[in-house]
Amino acid sequence: MLNELSPLARKLGAFVALSDAEHALLMRLHRRRKVFFAGRDLVHQGQSEHTAYVLAKGWAASYKVLEDGGRQILNFKVPGDFLGLRSVLLRISDHSIEPVTDIEVSEIGVSDVLDAFNENHKLATAFLWAASCDEAIMVEHLVNIGRRDAAKRLAHFLLELGARLSLVGIGSKAGYDCPLTQYLIADALGLSAVHVNRCLRQLREYGLVTFTGGRVAFIDHARLVEFAQFDPAYLDHSAPKLR
């Protein structure tokens, strides 16, 4: 049932109860389904022409590069997530987006979205909600980098991804398939890849979690949650549905 909905309708439907008319309205916002290949950026930092997407299949990373060549990954995007939502109303995009795997996306007509606000205010509220959820994840990422040591940071990161994937049905407390390299994780956590490797070993030796062969396997989920001080409240998408 839900699977027949577009990714956009599924995303926003988590927040507002959508009527048939609203579903029809959402359909008009879609352009076409598109495919991008791993490593070829869809959005470039500094570009002024924007399109927003909803990720239907695969993983992507939003990131910012510094003048000195370093880069910071802001967030990994998994199926169901928006790509480029924040840039919709900003004059130039403040970040780039790179597919980690080959991905499929639904393109969204930005000006159509803004026009649709005129017809239906619930839609506007739903977009603001989606933006707020994205920001909550960013904020927790900030806390993670600012205040946790490397091992806890990594543990928290693996737990967050697991929780987010569980929300869209492709992960559980047992684990999940994860296409990220240790280099990507390092760029996300503000660490070196070497140290990510050491921390992974540490978590493995503690009997908490393993990450090998593209699979994250939680060995002792409860103890890992405690170790990382992971509180998933910020991922709570069960917002009170609007009338």
Partner DNA sequence: CGGGCGCTTGATAGGCCTCAACGTAAGTGG
Partner DNA sequence: CCACTTACGTTGAGGCCTATCAAGCGCCCG
**Smallest distance, a copy of itself to C-beta of residue 5, A:** 21
**Smallest distance, a copy of itself to C-beta of residue 74, A:** 6
**Smallest distance, DNA to C-beta of residue 37, A:** 13
Tokens of 42: 């869809």
State the Cα–Cα distance between residues 183 and 194, nearest whole angstrom. 8
Cα distance between the two ends of the chain: 22
Does position 111 interact with a copy of itself (CB under 8 A)? The reply is no
State the Cα–Cα distance between residues 7 and 57, nearest whole angstrom. 10
CA distances from residue 224 to 28, 41, 166 in whole angstroms, order as listed: 44, 34, 17
Using alpha carbons only, what angle is made at residue 103 by residues 38 and 195, rounded to the nearest 5 degrees?
Answer: 50
Segment lying near a copy of itself (by CB under 8 A), choices 24-32, 69-77, 161-169, 194-202: 69-77
**Smallest distance, DNA to C-beta of residue 185, A:** 8
Tracing tokens 């994860």 back to the chain, one arrives at: 178
Segment lying near DNA (by CB under 7 A), choices 27-35, 73-81, 105-113, 185-193: 185-193
Does position 191 interact with DNA (CB under 7 A)? The reply is yes
CB-CB contact of 157 with 211 (8 Å): no
Does position 194 interact with DNA (CB under 7 A)? The reply is yes
Does position 71 interact with DNA (CB under 7 A)? The reply is no
Which 93-122 positions form the footprint of DNA (CB under 7 A)? none
CB-CB contact of 77 with 83 (8 Å): yes
Does position 143 interact with DNA (CB under 7 A)? The reply is no
β-bridge partners, 6: none
Helices (H), 148-240: 150-167, 182-189, 193-205, 221-228
Question: Which residue, 31 or 201, is less far from DNA as judged by CB?
Answer: 201
Residue 49 CB neighbours (<10 A): 8
Which 120-149 positions form the footprint of a copy of itself (CB under 8 A)? 121, 124-125, 127-129, 131-136, 138-143, 145-148
State the Cα–Cα distance between residues 50 and 156, nearest whole angstrom. 32
51 binds, among DNA, a copy of itself, none (CB under 5 to 8 A by kind): none
Give the footprint of a copy of itself on this chain (CB under 8 A).
15, 46, 64, 66-68, 70-72, 74, 86-92, 94-95, 114, 117-118, 121, 124-125, 127-129, 131-136, 138-143, 145-148, 189-190, 229, 231, 233-234, 236, 238-240, 242
